[in-house]
Amino acid sequence: MKVFKFGGTSLGTPERFGKIPGLLSGEEKKIVVLSAISGTTDQLVRINACLAQEDKQGAGTVVNELERFYSKFIYSLFDWTPFYNQARLFVETRILRLRGLLERSFVREVENEILAQGELLSTGLFRCLLLARGEDFLYLYAPDILHKNTEGQPDMEYLRRALSKSITQNPATTLFITQGFICSNSHGKLDTLGRGGSDFTASLIGAALEVDEIQIWTDVDGVHNNDPRWVEETRPIPELSYDEADELAYFGAKVLHPACVFPAKQRNIPIRIKNTLNPEAPGTLVHEGRKGSSIKAVAVKGGITAVRIRSARMLMAYGFLRKVFEIFERYETPIDMISTSEVSVSLTIDDNSSLGQIVQELKELGVVEVDENQTIVCVVGDFMAEKPGMVRIVLNALREIPVRMISYGGSMNNVSLLLHEQDKDKALRALHHHLFLNREIHVN
Ligand code: ASP
Ligand code: MG
């Protein structure tokens, strides 16, 4: 059994959408997880933003745009009249539902229901497409199978039981389809896994059923060795370990959602990243496999703020770090990088929303300095301690560039460097040149 997850861009045009069933041939059982069509969730977020400001008219305008988009979409997707009519009826019903939601008072439940419409639209249209093709399949409503517990974590045992039941009750069915991103909360209400969460859904389902492989279908040939937005001549990486993929996803590689590696790693299930626009390409395989001895990739995460706190009490000030972390915890602000000296600590955050209050409280502990417009450049690979020289190679590549902070040793899989945003392009190109183009780095 395999899980196939198709992202928004893979479904983004009627032509691409129409090609998905062709990628699902073969007798093997498959569970297909769909994102919303690209752009839709952004529109739904806009609707919620309007409603939060009591701008019902603005929200209505976005619903009209969605209606126009989907009307055109199904017109090109279904040129067989009976199925076109069915799809039209379906889209009209969903749009009507959305309009109805605009009239309700704007509470969390309504917000989540609005957000869920993208995946409900994509899976509903996929269902029409499969019916039109005469395929045998089972449609699963994700909130029925994927529940969060009281801690907000996915209930894996429930997911396993619910899926196994559907599969055993339908022994002849090979194709199961469901929504990514949406689930129910511990009160049984509609909820989501957060932006980009469809990858996480696929991984949770794959782990619950211990499938042979989780395939994430996107619009690039796998995870690239550098960020193609800033660097030319990047290449897809054939294989990554779970830890390397995890670091890359966390530090900015957009291909995989950071949460999606963990469930697969726990059950040792390979994740294969494939390109719907080029299905023949091998993509990237994430698995435990043989440990490499090379630098695999560079990822970049912008919009970082660095905060330095100099302790007011010099020397032996135990409890200082705890107090610092507690402040960030209180404002639910995760810390990415950290580096300490006897009297001060520097750390970075990517969520500035509570920065003002955080700084206010930190000032009670010491002198606080804040630097915005920073970027984390993360070099990922196998930096086993007994292979000397890897870190030197990275630093050598950056010898012309001021580095604000370095973090190394947290795992053997990454070196993270903090630079000013304005040096980002130069740093990425220098690393690319040094690490991947001039020579292959193999340290034995
Ligand atoms: N549709 C959701 C989003 O855009 C989830 C996903 O695509 O993974 O964030
Ligand atoms: Mg995604």
Report the CATH number at residue 383. Answer: 3.30.2130.10
Question: Cβ distance 300 to 424 under 8 Å?
Answer: yes
Residues 172 and 311 in one domain: no
Q: How far is the CA of 246 from the centre of ligand 2 (A)?
A: 15
Q: Is the pLDDT of residue 441 over 70?
A: no
- pLDDT tens figures, 169-201: 999 999 999 999 999 999 999 999 999 999 999
Residue 227 lies in a domain: no
Give the list of residues 6+ apart from residue 361 with CB closer than 8 angstroms, or none. 327, 330
Q: How much is the average pLDDT of 78-82?
A: 81
Q: Domain of 63?
A: 2-219
Token pair in block for residue 284: 């990237």
Q: Mutate which of 35, 43, 48 to test ligand 1's pocket (most atoms within 8 Å of Cβ)?
A: 35
* pLDDT for residue 407 is more than 70: yes
Residue-level pLDDT at 343 = 82
Q: Which residue did the predictor score with more confidence, 70 or 436?
A: 70
Q: Where are the alpha helices (DSSP H) in 104-183?
A: 108-132, 142-145, 156-169
Let me know if residue 384 belongs to a domain.
yes
In contact, 198 and 33? CB cutoff 8 Å: yes
Residue 104: its pLDDT value, please? 95
Give residue 25's region: left, alpha or beta (phi > 0; psi -120 to 50): beta
Tell which wins on pLDDT, 3 or 232. Answer: 3
The share of the chain scoring above pLDDT 70, in percent, equals 95
pLDDT at 265 over 60: yes
**What's the pLDDT score for residue 251?**
81
In a domain, 289, yes or no: no
Q: Identify whether residues 133 and 19 lie together within a single domain.
A: yes
Q: Residue 266: inside a domain, yes or no?
A: no
Q: Distance, CA 242 to ligand 2 centroid (Å)? A: 18
Ligand that comes closest to the CA of residue 34 = 1
User: Is 202 within 8 Å of 248 (Cβ atoms)?
Assistant: no
Residue 381 CA to ligand 1 center (angstroms) comes to 28
Pairing of strands 366-381, 295-311: antiparallel
- DSSP helix/strand/coil, 193: coil
Highest mean pLDDT among 105-114, 227-236, 428-437: 105-114
**Higher pLDDT, residue 315 or 382:** 382
- One domain for residues 55 and 180: yes
Which protein residue has the closest C-alpha to ligand 1 atom 5?
Answer: 196
d(CA 42, ligand 2 centre) in Å: 13
Q: pLDDT-derived band of residue 387, with 50, 70 and 90 as boundaries?
A: low
Number of domains observed in the structure of the chain: 2
Q: How confident is the model at residue 442 (pLDDT cuts 50, 70, 90)?
A: very low
List, in sequence order, every residue forming a beta bridge with 298; answer none if it has no partner: 379
Q: Which one has a higher pLDDT value, 147 or 220? A: 147
Q: Output the six-digit token pair for 344.
A: 């001060």
In the predicted model, what is the mean pLDDT of the chain?
92
Alpha carbon of 137 to those of 5, 43, 118, 173: distances in Å? 16, 30, 21, 6
Q: Is residue 151 part of a domain?
A: yes
Residue type at 254 in one-letter notation: K
Tell me which ligand sits closest to the C-alpha of residue 255: 2
pLDDT attached to residue 385: 54
Q: Which of 164, 187, 219 is the last residue of a domain?
A: 219
Domain presence at residue 240:
no
63, 150: one domain: yes
Q: Is residue 157 part of a domain?
A: yes
Residue 355's pLDDT is what? 97
Q: What is the CB < 6 Å shell around ligand 1?
A: 8, 35-36, 41, 118, 180-181, 195-198
pTM metric for this prediction: 0.88
Average pLDDT on 310-314 reads: 76
Find the distance separating the first CA and the last CA of the chain, reported in whole Å: 39
Token code pair at residue 11: 């479904």
Reported as a single tens digit per residue, the pLDDT across 108-135 is 999 999 999 999 999 999 999 999 999 9
Residues 197 and 302 in one domain: no
Cα(256) to centroid of ligand 2, in Å? 6
Note whether residue 237 is domain-resident. Answer: no
Task: Please give the full DSSP string across 378-430, using - where no structure is assigned.
Answer: EEEE---TTSTTHHHHHHHHTTTS---EEEESSSTTEEEEEEEGGGHHHHHHH
Q: Is 58 exposed, middle or buried (0-12, 13-18, 19+ CB in 10 A)?
A: middle
